[in-house]
């Protein structure tokens, strides 16, 4: 990060379920990873508590489509998710619900017929939840 002149960015390698977020962070971004963590709800709650009030957590990840093509979900999961270590069991994990539970001013957008979503929320002044 120093080579790029980024003094405000820190990359961390850790098990997300046990990671201790530093206090007072300005933002958290999870891309195609949080669904892999069985303890996603705890991770999102802990991250929310670490954020400064008004700061955001954003997630981009896979989910099972819920529209007209939902009957194709098992096939899509095998084709799109399995190569990355995903399983059909992971489809029961809904991290967007945890963002909605702990954060305020949430917004969710779906792409690729509902198979990909982006959701973000802000930590409220009163805390998380």
Please, are residues 90 and 32 in contact by the beta-carbon 8 Å criterion? Answer: no
* pLDDT per position as a tens digit, 26-41: 999 999 889 889 999 9
CATH number attached to the domain at 23-122: 3.40.50.150
* pLDDT per position as a tens digit, 49-96: 999 999 999 999 988 877 676 777 677 666 766 666 667 677 788 999
* CA distances (Å), origin 16, targets 7, 21, 68, 111, 115: 23, 9, 34, 26, 23
Provide the total of helices (H) and of strands (E) in the chain, helices listed first. Answer: 3, 4
The pTM is what?
A: 0.82
């Amino acid at each position: 990060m120093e080579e790029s002149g980024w003094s405000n960015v820190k990359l961390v390698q850790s098990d997300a379920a046990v990671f201790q977020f530093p206090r007072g962070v300005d933002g958290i971004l999870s891309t195609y990873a949080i669904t892999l963590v069985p303890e996603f709800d705890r991770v999102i709650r802990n991250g929310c508590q670490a954020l400064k009030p008004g700061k955001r957590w954003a997630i981009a990840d896979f989910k099972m489509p819920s529209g007209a093509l939902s009957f194709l979900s098992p096939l899509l999961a095998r084709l799109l998710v399995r190569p990355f270590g995903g399983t059909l069991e992971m489809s029961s994990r809904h991290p967007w619900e945890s963002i909605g539970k702990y954060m305020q001013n949430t917004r969710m957008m779906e792409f690729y017929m509902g198979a990909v979503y982006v959701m973000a929320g802000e930590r409220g002044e009163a805390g998380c939840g």
